[in-house]
Amino acid sequence: MSVPEDSKGRRRWKPPADVENVSGRTMQKKEKVKKKTLSKSSRDWVDRQLRDPYVRKAQEAGYRARAAYKLKEIDEKFHVLKRGARVVDLGSAPGGWLQVVIEKGAARLVGIDLLPIDPLGDVTIFQADIHEPGMTEKLMAALGDKPTVVLSDMAANTVGHKQTDHVRTVGLAEMAAQFAIDNLVKNGTFVAKVFQGGAQGTLLEMLKTNFDDVRHWKPPSSRTESPEIFVIARGFRG
């Protein structure tokens, strides 16, 4: 199923128009779904959401997206989020990762996305393009100092061609990595989504040149059929 993308090619999910009443916390309303005539792709999406235990867990816990559990699991394994951290979240919508960072006791947190994000505590949120002139300076001013962690869950819209999807998503990860290298404090951490495949050479070279420890990992909450994995880079050399 096609997923809308922003001007930088980043995948920004919203449910199909004919299943708009079953997104987020309204997923429980099966009755509304049954009363509609759905396309096959929409029926498949609804069935997957209704069966997904992480969707139910996210609803019960009040997370804005099931993706929150991916960051929670990454942190449990690699300890990337420290109390008092200063964090920049690139591509933050709808805000699930921001919620997890708040729970972990970040001192300062800034999110940015082209899509609107509902207000969330003391988080500074920009609805903007990271490439806008002066945008990096605005993020750093809002954060108050260099970030200790840069996060990115950005992914390009899939077109159904595995290698193309992979290359486009790795391109976004490279952009996020360059932002991290330009702005992280010494010994800082970078986490980003990539797709499995053979086009990660430039990204890995960037990270291994600038970080002491670089790992790939697929969290348990990442769907088995999804090609996504996450790169975790720790010990920024500055």
Q: Is the dihedral of CA 175, 146, 127, 218 positive or negative?
A: positive
DSSP-assigned beta bridge partners for residue 141 = none
Number of residues in the chain: 238
What lies within 8 Å, CB to CB, of 183 at 6+ separation is: 88, 136, 140, 146, 147, 150
Strands (E), the chain: 86-90, 108-113, 124-127, 149-152, 189-195, 211-217, 228-236
CA dist 222 and 202 (Å) reads 24
Question: Tokens 């970080």 label which residue?
Answer: 211
Residue 171 CA to residue 183 CA, distance in Å, equals 19
Catalytic residue among 70, 72, 104, 193: 193
Q: Is the preceding peptide bond at 219 cis, omega within 30 degrees of 0?
A: no
Known catalytic membership, residue 193? yes
Helix crossing, 201-210 with 162-183: angle to 10°?
20
SS3 65: coil
Query: Annotated active-site positions, please?
Result: 193
